[in-house]
Structure 1
Amino acid sequence: TVVPLSVVRSLEPVHELPEGRDVHELFTEKDVDLDFKPDGLPFTSWRNTFIYLDRFIKTIGKFPWKPLRKKAFRKVEQWTLEHQEGEGDWGGIQPAMLNSLLALRLLGYANDHPACVKGMEAVDRFLLEKDGRLWMQACVSPLWDTAIAANALLDSGLPSDHPALVKAGEWIINKQVIKRGDWQVKNPGAEPGGWAFEFYNELYPDTDDTAEILLFLNRIDIADNRWKLSECQRAMNWLLSMQSKSGGWGAFDVDNDKEVLNEIPFADHKALLDPPTVDVTGRILWMLSKWGFKKQHPQVQRAIQFIKERQEIDGCWFGRWGANYIYGTFLVLNGLCAIGEDMNAPFSRKAVRWLEGHQNEDGGWGETCQSYQEPSLRGRGKSTASQTAWALLGLIAADEAENTAVERGVRYLIETQKDSGDVSGSWWEDEFTATGFPIHFFIKYHMYQHFFPLMALSRYRRAAGGSEQ
């Protein structure tokens, strides 16, 4: 996104709107003045230093003599073309795709140039049309959804050699990334082997998807078991190499945690980085346990310490990729339980008390996305199927299956299960419960409302001894 956007920012194209047309609906009262103003002198803070430095650079940029500008444009052009997938995508996400196409257009590429044609075809694949409405998705998540759905089906009792699961497993293995991507900049010694989020994204596999997929592949039986195990070993090697020095895992990179960079004016979303997070690390611990890793393994010990050091004072954990503290707490408890941590230890008891204390009167759990901006709202919000399932999964992992809070949560899911309509037999929620950029950008995964409740109810049934309670 950033590299092609530098071309757009440099050339500053303008599209004149017809009289009476504007884009005022994109702005709120807070956006009246979008200028960055320092609150002190240079060097009194990183923020102030970067603001003054930004002003200085922009002043220099107004000079007509730019001896390196053509060379810079050529390098951006080359980089953009090299990062286009064979199918036309860039990074598998809409912002990168649109900005890359815009940059190429500004650099003189015609609309019928092969790179632009393929790029527009990729954009078209992100469009949805239903009931006379047309909208664009920010991204698609087929590997992520397939792996979690398959794990939920396995939890529900579907046989490990069921044709649907075997078909999904073989498809996923064939989507494995075996090409070096931008992650090699900070991790040059590792061989590729992870999985990405989208259909087409060879340069940016992520650790979260890779862990969820390895959880799934470990549980299924396919005809060519040697092939499965060899590809899983390749993925495991890559995933272990992506652990940061702090002991945690980020989603896409290693040690991408220089918080000072979020003070650059351009980084106003405070999401320029990909630091290690407890939710991703918890899922990876969960996966490692299923592949035979023990607490004594050095990388496991570092991950456990990373997680414990980041528990909030009231007992919960932050969720970077799901809203929010309910999500983080669920994944941490599952990971620590699976790897063999004592669920009667103080850290677990504090987390259990936090989940109990944030259950809604209807028996469910919910958390507004505003909790990223207002910590007092964490764990608070309208009950949703996915967030209720996360809370239940966390409590069940903490050996609380007989807790009355769990019984009430299970009852909530059963009573809100639909018995008619498009989602008959499943659940529906209007809320966005996943996170792109905290505070600024949230996602609704339409599968979350289906497979997480199934997973929670299945594990409850197993934890309760298979009773029909």
Structure 2
Amino acid sequence: MVDPAGLRAAVDAAVVHLKSRQHADGWWKGELATNVTMDAEDMLLRHVLDIVVPADQERSARWIRSQQNADGSWADFPGGPGTLSTTVEAWVALRLAGDPEDAAHMVAAAEWVRGHGGLERARVFTHMWLSLVGLWKWDDCPTLPPEMMFLPSWAPLNIYNWGCWARQTIVPLTIVSAKRPVVPVSFDAEPLRTHARPERFGPLWSIAGIFQRLDVGVRLFGKLPANPLRKLAMRQAAEWILARQEADGGWGGIQPPWVYSVLALWQMGYSLDHPAIKAALAGLDTFFVEVPDGPEGPMRWLEACQSPVWDTGLSLAALLESGVAPDDPAVLKAADWLLAEQVTADGDWQVQRPDLPSAGWSFEFQNDVYPDTDDTAEMILALRGVDHPDKARLRAALDAAITWTAGMQSKDGGWGAFDADNGHELATKLPFCDFGNVIDPPSADVTAHVVEMLAVEGRADSTECRRGVAWLLAHQEADGSWFGRWGANHLYGTGAAVPALVEAGLPTDHAAIRAAVAWLEEHQNADGGWGEDLRSYHDKAWVGRGASTPSQTAWALLALLAAGEDGPQGSNLVVERGIGYLLDTQRPDGGWDEELYTGTGFPGYFYIGYEMYRQVFPMWALGRYARRRGLS
């Protein structure tokens, strides 16, 4: 049985710890870790642009070396298996930094690459980066014709059929793949090659096979002498890029479009002294995390993105859930910062919703073009609990945000993150698209967050909320869980869906809720916690299985508490053991450790370690449990 005094002390310690991490301006931001492709590609970018700073390059190289697996490979997440493209890019980056190919760690990496298909089987993005430095042929890369800029928004494969992250990447790559620049390196990639024959095209009658053959024709067209139409297309692409550059110099606040936009503008004749490129490179430099005490000396690694809005909204909600007063200075400071971050500018989402007034929140410090429904729903849920001195201002901001979020509902009743009705599967069939998610269809976790927000705001009976509930019920997995698009994985989806459905009026004895509860109980670990390995995205044997983590345990507990599973004091051993796990793993300073990644960028391909998840979600779960025990 959980000791009430110990529980309250744990919550109080977590509150003190979280408050101590708040910035003077009111926000929180944890580190956002991914994999070494960020660092490898940054090193390649600086080589191509001839802006290498040797000391910086060596600090990045030390980081890459420190992340190598014992078998010679590099993984996409801690504890995960090696990944071919990640290992190829790491090997090339280290050769760029001067590591000899006969060094033991380089030999091991090359052997691993050859044993897993070789350079020939790496992903398209890897082949493009290697083409930039002469280690692969542009002729062997899929083409992205700039002329696609002329396709109207109603036409198949127009740029707005792609998810915003893919759209922002593809537009600059149309310029890069048309210009096909090469800045050679002083070494070759022979140790990585198997000389295997290219994979055969798909059947002629298949969509993939048709696109593969069309790609050959498009490639031949691209070799014709430059014509006025292509020049106009590239100029239009460059103008599109410049129109979407953010105040911090980046694009969408994420690495891929940022670096490809720099390369595209450079290829269009913009000098490195041009204000757009200067701002981009200066902004990118702010994404480095310095590690002063690495095993070989100082290191640095590059964040793929930064998440202050997300982190601040979650931190604010966790504080309020833990009994912090709604007019506490830390709460008010966070609320004021978030209110100032509300996006009122136009964005690409208006292609599908042209008459919808902008009022959402985005993920990053500077991203006015791509607010998202997930951040916005969570900001509303957090801010509505604040006792703000300017109540009219707060209410107006929330009402506008609710209208925007509800208006972003897709036709099928669910919500995607950045766009409405962005589920055009045809885009995924192009030869270019071998790196995961390139579209933004509705997902269970985002839909659940919006449904919960609407219900808490008294709109459970609205058409939008009822359709969202129906979408969630229709997308429950056969085992009772929900798939997690933006978090790992079924624990995240289920942890979002159950509280939303209950808040929206579904009784706790509903079959969908009981099935979810049974699934959670079945997947509790022996230590009382929950964990799900990221391999569950492509290997169903891992669904609901993995080493316990504080954040995933908290998601499971939030679902169980919403389903009424705490019951009378100590009556539910599953919940009690879960709470016990969080209490037992809390550090003396009130925080938690979590080395494993529990965030998702592209399921099956790209994963995220959110530093703040290990703090806010356990605190949230303990705080909610304490409130239900009357201890707040």
Cα deviation for residue 97 of structure 1 reads 1.1
Q: Could you tell me which amino acid in structure 2 is paired with residue 457 of structure 1? A: L
**Which residue is 1:329 aligned to?**
494
SS of corresponding position for 2:618 = helix
How has the CA–CA distance of structure 1 residues 340 and 266 changed in structure 2, closer, same or farther, with 3 Å as cutoff? same
Deviating above 6 A after TM superposition, structure 1's stretches of 4 or more consecutive aligned residues are: none
Q: C-alpha deviations, 1:404-443, integer Å up to 9, x for none?
A: 1111111111111112xxxx22111111100000111000
Given that residues 36 and 265 in structure 1 are in contact (C-alpha distance below 8 angstroms), is that contact kept between their aligned partners in structure 2?
Answer: no
1:60 to 215, 221, 227: 221
**Which residue is 1:180 aligned to?**
346
Q: C-alpha deviations, 1:146-202, integer Å up to 9, x for none?
A: 000110010100000001111110111111111010101111111111010000000
How has the CA–CA distance of structure 1 residues 317 and 382 changed in structure 2, closer, same or farther, with 3 Å as cutoff? same
**Which residue is 1:112 aligned to?**
273
Whole-Å Cα distance in 1 between the matches of residues 427 and 481 of structure 2? 27
1:289 to 448, 455, 475: 455
Higher relative contact order by CA 8 Å / sep ≥ 6: 1 or 2?
2
SS of corresponding position for 2:366 = coil
**Which residue is 2:404 aligned to?**
238
SS of corresponding position for 1:267 = coil
Matched, 1:267 2:446: no
SS of corresponding position for 2:459 = coil
Cα deviation for residue 263 of structure 1 reads 1.3
**Which residue is 1:165 aligned to?**
331
1:91 to 252, 255, 261: 252
Cα deviation for residue 283 of structure 1 reads 0.8
Cα deviation for residue 444 of structure 1 reads 0.5
**Which residue is 2:242 aligned to?**
81
1:370 to 535, 557, 563: 535
**Which residue is 1:10 aligned to?**
178
Mapping for residues 382-397 of structure 1, pairs under 5 Å: 382-397=547-562
Cα deviation for residue 380 of structure 1 reads 0.5
SS of corresponding position for 1:68 = helix
**Which residue is 2:202 aligned to?**
39
Whole-Å Cα distance in 1 between the matches of residues 196 and 440 of structure 2? 29
Given that residues 409 and 420 in structure 2 are in contact (C-alpha distance below 8 angstroms), is that contact kept between their aligned partners in structure 1?
Answer: yes
The two structures, once aligned, show a CA RMSD in angstroms of 1.7
Q: Could you tell me which amino acid in structure 2 is paired with residue 121 of structure 1? A: A
Given that residues 357 and 404 in structure 2 are in contact (C-alpha distance below 8 angstroms), is that contact kept between their aligned partners in structure 1?
Answer: yes
SS of corresponding position for 1:326 = helix
Whole-Å Cα distance in 1 between the matches of residues 317 and 396 of structure 2? 21
Whole-Å Cα distance in 2 between the matches of residues 308 and 360 of structure 1? 27
Whole-Å Cα distance in 2 between the matches of residues 61 and 119 of structure 1? 29
Whole-Å Cα distance in 1 between the matches of residues 197 and 446 of structure 2? 34
How has the CA–CA distance of structure 1 residues 460 and 130 changed in structure 2, closer, same or farther, with 3 Å as cutoff? same
Q: Could you tell me which amino acid in structure 1 is paired with residue 495 of structure 2? A: F
**Which residue is 2:130 aligned to?**
none
Given that residues 455 and 465 in structure 2 are in contact (C-alpha distance below 8 angstroms), is that contact kept between their aligned partners in structure 1?
Answer: no
Given that residues 37 and 51 in structure 1 are in contact (C-alpha distance below 8 angstroms), is that contact kept between their aligned partners in structure 2?
Answer: no
Q: Could you tell me which amino acid in structure 2 is paired with residue 62 of structure 1? A: K
Mapping for residues 281-360 of structure 1, pairs under 5 Å: 281-294=447-460, 296-360=461-525
Given that residues 178 and 222 in structure 2 are in contact (C-alpha distance below 8 angstroms), is that contact kept between their aligned partners in structure 1?
Answer: no
What's the % identity of the aligned pairs?
44
Whole-Å Cα distance in 1 between the matches of residues 217 and 189 of structure 2? 32
Given that residues 179 and 203 in structure 1 are in contact (C-alpha distance below 8 angstroms), is that contact kept between their aligned partners in structure 2?
Answer: yes
How has the CA–CA distance of structure 1 residues 260 and 168 changed in structure 2, closer, same or farther, with 3 Å as cutoff? same
Whole-Å Cα distance in 1 between the matches of residues 263 and 226 of structure 2? 25
Matched, 1:461 2:629: no
Matched, 1:200 2:357: no
Cα deviation for residue 48 of structure 1 reads 1.7
Whole-Å Cα distance in 1 between the matches of residues 433 and 604 of structure 2? 13
Q: Could you tell me which amino acid in structure 2 is paired with residue 39 of structure 1? A: G
Whole-Å Cα distance in 1 between the matches of residues 391 and 599 of structure 2? 34
Tell me which moved more, 193-202 or 397-406.
397-406
**Which residue is 2:12 aligned to?**
none
Q: Could you tell me which amino acid in structure 2 is paired with residue 418 of structure 1? A: R
Whole-Å Cα distance in 2 between the matches of residues 359 and 86 of structure 1? 45
How has the CA–CA distance of structure 1 residues 436 and 371 changed in structure 2, closer, same or farther, with 3 Å as cutoff? same
1:406 to 545, 566, 575: 575
Mapping for residues 145-164 of structure 1, pairs under 5 Å: 145-164=311-330
Cα deviation for residue 35 of structure 1 reads 5.1
Given that residues 483 and 490 in structure 2 are in contact (C-alpha distance below 8 angstroms), is that contact kept between their aligned partners in structure 1?
Answer: yes
How has the CA–CA distance of structure 1 residues 60 and 275 changed in structure 2, closer, same or farther, with 3 Å as cutoff? same
Cα deviation for residue 65 of structure 1 reads 5.4
Paired positions, count: 455
How has the CA–CA distance of structure 1 residues 448 and 348 changed in structure 2, closer, same or farther, with 3 Å as cutoff? same
Cα deviation for residue 445 of structure 1 reads 0.5
**Which residue is 2:585 aligned to?**
416
2:419 to 253, 265, 275: 253
Whole-Å Cα distance in 2 between the matches of residues 459 and 416 of structure 1? 18
Q: C-alpha deviations, 1:223-263, integer Å up to 9, x for none?
A: 11111111111111111110001100000000001123211
How has the CA–CA distance of structure 1 residues 59 and 147 changed in structure 2, closer, same or farther, with 3 Å as cutoff? same
**Which residue is 2:211 aligned to?**
50
Cα deviation for residue 34 of structure 1 reads 9.7
SS of corresponding position for 2:617 = helix
